[in-house]
Every structure is written in structure tokens, then in C-alpha cells.
Structure 1
Amino acid sequence: MKASLQEIEPIIKEVFNHLHNHPEISWQEVETTKYLKKFLEKEGFTVEGFDDSTGLVVTVGSGKPCIGLRTDIDALWQEVDGTYQANHSCGHDAHMAIVVGGLLVLRKIGIPKTGQLKVVFQPAEEKGNGALALIDKGVVDDIDYLYGVHLRPVQEISHGYSAPAILNGAARMLKGSIKGTDAHGARPHQGQNAIEVMALLVHAIRTIHVDPMVPHSAKMTMFQAGGESANIIPGTGIFSIDVRAQSNEVIEKLMVQVKKAVESVAELADVKISLETTAEIAAAQVDQTAVELMAAAIKETVGEEFLAPPIVTPGGEDFHYYTLKRPTIKATMLGLGCDLAPGLHHPKMAFNQDSLLTGIEILTRVVVRSFKHLENKNANDEKAEVTLK
């Protein structure tokens, strides 16, 4: 396997550099999809696209068992050096390169020998609804084990270490608007001050309390009201709320309390406040056997001393919808230590690119181990059935 990795190293770095330099935001990954499709078809893989969205699926082999790899393909929209632009500051460019590398190595070593390998290039992870769209298309219905990868920042794990699971939290992004009446600065009684309404809402949200044993938060992340005229009291405004919790149960309780807070403030201030969910991400639901297989692959790649425990992180990841919506799928994500700094979503995020090969090797080994695990399990099940008869 090491020889295969060395052979593909220049190819993978070229793939990474292209993807890094051509980022595209969620649901607009058109050129990214075209590039991946052209590259993978040139390498001889069977590639399936979608008529109504970006993203791809690569299938090798057929039938059961079916082992899956998934990578996200979208970039963030953020300010970089004073200019707003698409930017791969969450590592999705690296994830794509790692999964492409895994495909190349697995083909070189003849995997799968039986069954099916399915690789999903998923759009719109940053919107929190890319996984849901592919689930609705039936893309993952036949997958037994599904693996993902995510670069981890130095605050969570040191370079050279890898974790067999990422225990992401749940998240909801909410968008709201306040509809009141503007008033003259000298006559505040004739309208509703959206800024004062927002102050009430900030206070109401800060008084929310749920189970303190489960990390959680609800906070305002944006508010806009008023214009250039300082003598006009703004009656309208828009805002956003970010809600997070380490479990799906607690975030549901938080959402109930947030909605009650909004309703109570609207009644008190005599204004109309609308609220909608713009993004929704589930907390991690990992399978213990998948975690054990990933841990074994990490130890085989970097040694037991560099195996880190599962990472608990408040960040969200829509990968976990695959197991939430399709409970038959056994899944986990590789947490890859790679000297990532200053942090995820920082406009100047950078990491040690030598980690690309480490990620490729770990994912390759976990796929091989998963096929072998299922083959042994099926053989034992057949043996037990014969014995019972």
C-alpha cells in the first residue's frame, strides 16, 4: 500500500491544488463537479451525476456488501483580505483529495474483490441540507458501512494523531424579521423601536436554561435596523440566531424555548416577529463497530501511540443525517490531526498537506477492514445457520 501511496502522491497534490484554487459555495459547485467527473472518468471509474443538483456518486463493483466513503465538496463564502469570496477554509478541498486518493489506492490493490464500493461527493454541507438531498435520492440506501473524514484544528488534536470518531453537536440556524412602525425621533410613542425589541429578545434568549450536563448555547449572531437618518426610529429589522447542543434531544428543547422567547417578546412589544429555520444539522450518531474498525485502521497506519480518543466538538456536520435518517447504516468520521491553524472557518486557515496521504491510507485501510469484517460475519452467520439445522 505504501508504494501505491507514493505513486499517487503527485496526482493527489495536483487535485488538491486545483480544488483549493477553484472553490465554489453550496449548491453552486458546478465547476467542481465537472472537474471531478472528468478526472474520475479519465481514471476509468463509473461516475453518476444528478440532473437537478451538483455532486457525484462513483460506484465500483456491485451487490452486497456495500461500503461507502463520503466527502463534502462546497466552500464557504467569507471575507478574505477585504473581499468577499468563496473560500475553502473548512478543509473540503482536502476531504475531496483524500477520498479521490482512496479510490485510486483501493483500485490498485483490487478492492472490492466482491460487493460494492460507493463514493459520494456531496454538495452543500455548509448549508446543512446536502446530505438530506442525497438521502431523498436514495443514494445511500444500499450502504452497510459509511465513512467520512474531517480535518481537525490544533485546538482539538495534534498533528500526527487521528481520532476514530467526531462527535459533532446539533445546530440550527434561524432567520427572523421584526415588523413594526417607524416613528419620528421626537415621537417614539407613535411607533415600535426594532432596536429596543431586539434588546428584549437578546435578554429573553439569554435567560433560557436546559440540562446543564449537556453543552448548549443560543445566541444572536446578526441584527440590522435603521438607515442613514439618525432621527428616524426604525420599526423593522432582521436578525439571525444560532442554536447548538451536543445532543439531538437537547436542541429540540432549546428550540421550543427560543420560539417561546420570540413569541413573548412579540406580544410584549406589540410587533410581529417572524422566524424560520434556514439550516439544520443533527448531532453525531456513530456506530461502535465502525469506530472500532476505524481505530484499527488508524493504529495500522500511524501506530497505537497516535490513536486519539473520539473528538467531542460543538461544530456541526450534516454527515450525521445519513445515520439519523437511515438507521441501518453504520458510520463514523475520521478526525485527522494536521496542524490546522488558526482554526476552521478562519479566512487564512492552513494545514500540513503531508496529512493528505495519512488520511488516504487510513480510509483505504478502514474500507479493506470493513469488507473483511462483513465477509467474516456472513461466513459465521452461515456456519451458525448450518449448525442450527
Structure 2
Amino acid sequence: MTTNVLNWFEHFHAHPEVSWKEEKTTKTIADILASWNVRHETFDDVTGVIAEIGTGANVIAVRADIDALWQQVDGEFRANHSCGHDANISMVLGALELLKDEALSKRIRFIFQPAEEQGNGSLAMINKGALDDVSHLYGIHLRPLEELKRGQYAAAIQHGAALFLKGRIIGDDAHGARPHQGQNALDVVFTIQQMLKSIYLSPFEPHSIKLTGVQAGSDNMNIIPGNATFSIDVRAQQNKELLELRDRLETILHQISVLHGVEIELEWQDFTPGAEIGKHSSRITAEAIIALHGEDALVNRIVTSGSDDFHFYTVEKPGLDATMIGIGANLTPGLHHPQMTFDRDVLPEGAALLAETLRRAVAIR
């Protein structure tokens, strides 16, 4: 199994595919499942695979995200697995290999999900029946060194919630000598930037809101731009605070549009909910970590400001008991860094931990 997990990782790492275009990745996973005679399903209209082993009416599920990022690596824009989804696929396949010939009193469903990086791949799998009859859901993900070191395993990852805004300022251009004849979109942007600093929530609730992109002006330096586009990144540890930030931002942008005499169009994108950690699934994971690696290896929960569309599963199915397992791998410099690297020898350990967790989940009456 160790060799297989590492070989799978090398393959997926060398063949990254971006969100919704994971055709070869999907085929490779399906081919591996077919070679084991594991029942599985692919789809004509979306990438990804759903597989099952075991029997019974009750279902335990595990999800692996399969897409890569599009980013600049060594001066070239290309697909790149800098978030570790190649590792996630390999660990989940490794767990499946360990379990596929065991007598299981429940079904275990393996969801190989596309488009996590775009924040909506989970919804596509839900529409394909991924959550039908599922009581417990597990995920697995490598963690950066600042969160977990090699030999540490988290029973739960407390992801934050995220939401992104694309805005468009619509006004009139003016000559540089006649600014009174138009509206300077850059003045509007600067007002937005300043007003973002006036949005306060409780300091006990982690949150952030910041301008992340602006496009305005042209090659003519004597034209005052009346139009511009901008983007804003909004984050909070909990969903409630995120929605409060959204509402306050909309109010402020309306006030700014009146102040400057411009129209501001808003488009909210890629809402990713925060984690709702399941008590049973996280406890089962903690027990598996202790059984395999001892109490010193267990971290009950890590809190991260990052987000993951894994948590749409609990939003779409209230009452679903879910947790994402964190794997310490001495990962540096960080997730999404184009030169991200980690100790690859941890991958078979991650597969074994996931398999043990799923065994214990199946055994619960």
C-alpha cells in the first residue's frame, strides 16, 4: 500500500488539472477503482467520481478534492497542486485500498470531488446524490507547519467562512484639466479602502475585510477615469459574523455611491461556509489517532482562517456529522505557495489513519 500511495501522488502531482477540467484525473481514479472491481460512477456533465464499498442501509462518506490551482510557477502560468489535493486523492485511495476487501456492516462512500478551489464542486456532487443516506462525513487535508508539525494529527479543522465581492463603479470620464465634469473612480476606490477600516466586529471573533484588486484608467494620463472595477475579500471564523460583514459592506457601498454620485454594481461570489464540526466524527477520529500514534500525537482541533467548500455538505444536509482530519507534514512555505513542499512519507500514514477512522465509524451502532 505504501508504494501505491506514493506512486499515485507522483502521478497526480505531475498531471494537475484545474477546476471543472479534471478529466484525466477522473479517468485515472475510475481506472484504479475498476481494477479493484469497486463499484463507482462517473458523470457526463461533470468531472469527479463517486465510489462505494460495503453493504447495508447506512452510509459513512469520505471526500477527496481533486482539482489544482492555476498560478505562476517559475515565471510560467500553469496548473499546480500547491494546495495538496494530489496528496488528498492519494490518501483517500490508500484508505479505500486498505478497506475494500474487509467485511463492512455499512457502506462507505468515497467522493472524489471536482472544483474545491472554485468553492462549488461540493454542490455538484451533492446534486449527484453524494449525501444520500449519509450520517457521517470525513475529509482529510495536509496542514502547514505553522499549524501542525510532522507527527501531529488533528481530529478537526475549524475552517473559517469566506465571501468575495466583485464591484463595478460607473461614472463619467473627465479631462484632467476639468475634474468637475466627471466622477473620479479612483476617489471612490480610496473612499472604499478607508471606510473598510471603520467596520468593526467583536475582537473576540476573528474576521477580516480587505480590498484585493482594482482596475481603472487607461494609457492616457490626462483622462480622469469615471469607471473602475474592484474586488473585496471578506472572511470570518463563523458564518454569522461573515454575513454581518456582508450586510455592513453593502450599506457602506450604497452610502459611498450617493456621496460620489456614481453607481456601484455588486456581485457576490463563491460563498464558502465555516466549519460545523461534528461531535461524533471528531471523537471517532481522535480515538483513531490515539490508537495509531498515541495521545501526544493528537491535536483535538486547529483553527485556521482558510476556507474549504467541504463545509457545504453540512450546510446542505443539516444534522450531518462531519469533520476534516488535519495531517502534519512539515509543509512549507504554506498552502497555495507555488513552491509548496512537504514530507511525502506521511501519505501512507494519512491513508492508514483515515482507514482506521472509517473502520471505527462503521462499527458504531
Match of 1:106 among 82, 96, 99: 99
Structure ranking higher in helix proportion: 1
Indicate the SS of the match to 1:144: strand
Contact 1:111-1:368 at 8 Å conserved across structures: no
Instruction: Classify 1:111/1:219 alpha carbon distance in 2 versus 1 (closer, same or farther; 3 Å).
Output: farther
Q: Which runs of at least 4 in structure 1 moved beyond 6 Å after TM superposition?
A: none
**Residue type at the aligned position of 2:135:** D
TM-score with structure 2 setting the length = 0.97
Question: What is aligned with 1:265?
Answer: 256
**Is 1:329 equivalent to 2:320 in the alignment?**
yes
1:340-365 per-position Cα deviation (integer Å, ceiling 9, x unaligned): 00001100000100110111011000
In 2, Cα distance between equivalents of 1:329 and 1:98: 23
Question: What is aligned with 2:21?
Answer: 28
Contact 2:144-2:329 at 8 Å conserved across structures: yes
Match of 1:85 among 70, 78, 95: 78
Contact 1:301-1:358 at 8 Å conserved across structures: no
Q: Map 1:39-78 to 2 at 5 A.
A: 39-78=32-71
Match of 2:244 among 253, 260, 272: 253
In 2, Cα distance between equivalents of 1:195 and 1:310: 43
Q: Map 1:114-153 to 2 at 5 A.
A: 114-153=105-144
In 1, Cα distance between equivalents of 2:167 and 2:178: 26
1:128-183 per-position Cα deviation (integer Å, ceiling 9, x unaligned): 11112222333212111111001100011111100100000100011111111111
Question: What is aligned with 1:219?
Answer: 210
* Number of equivalences: 365
In 1, Cα distance between equivalents of 2:215 and 2:75: 21
1:241-296 per-position Cα deviation (integer Å, ceiling 9, x unaligned): 10000111111111000111111111111111111122111110011111110001
The Cα of 1:111 is off from its aligned counterpart by 4.3
TM-score with structure 1 setting the length = 0.92
Match of 1:19 among 12, 24, 27: 12
Greater Cα shift, 334-343 or 268-277: 268-277
Contact 2:6-2:348 at 8 Å conserved across structures: no
**Residue type at the aligned position of 1:133:** A
Cα-Cα RMSD = 1.2
1:63-98 per-position Cα deviation (integer Å, ceiling 9, x unaligned): 322111101111111111111111111110000000
Question: What is aligned with 1:197?
Answer: 188
In 2, Cα distance between equivalents of 1:152 and 1:287: 20
**Residue type at the aligned position of 2:77:** Y
**Residue type at the aligned position of 2:199:** I
Greater Cα shift, 338-347 or 54-63: 54-63
Indicate the SS of the match to 1:297: helix
Question: What is aligned with 1:95?
Answer: 88
In 1, Cα distance between equivalents of 2:21 and 2:337: 21
Q: Map 1:158-237 to 2 at 5 A.
A: 158-237=149-228
**Residue type at the aligned position of 1:62:** T
Contact 1:141-1:326 at 8 Å conserved across structures: no
Contact 1:220-1:241 at 8 Å conserved across structures: yes
Where structure 1 has 5 or more consecutive residues not aligned to the other structure, the ranges are: 1-7, 375-389
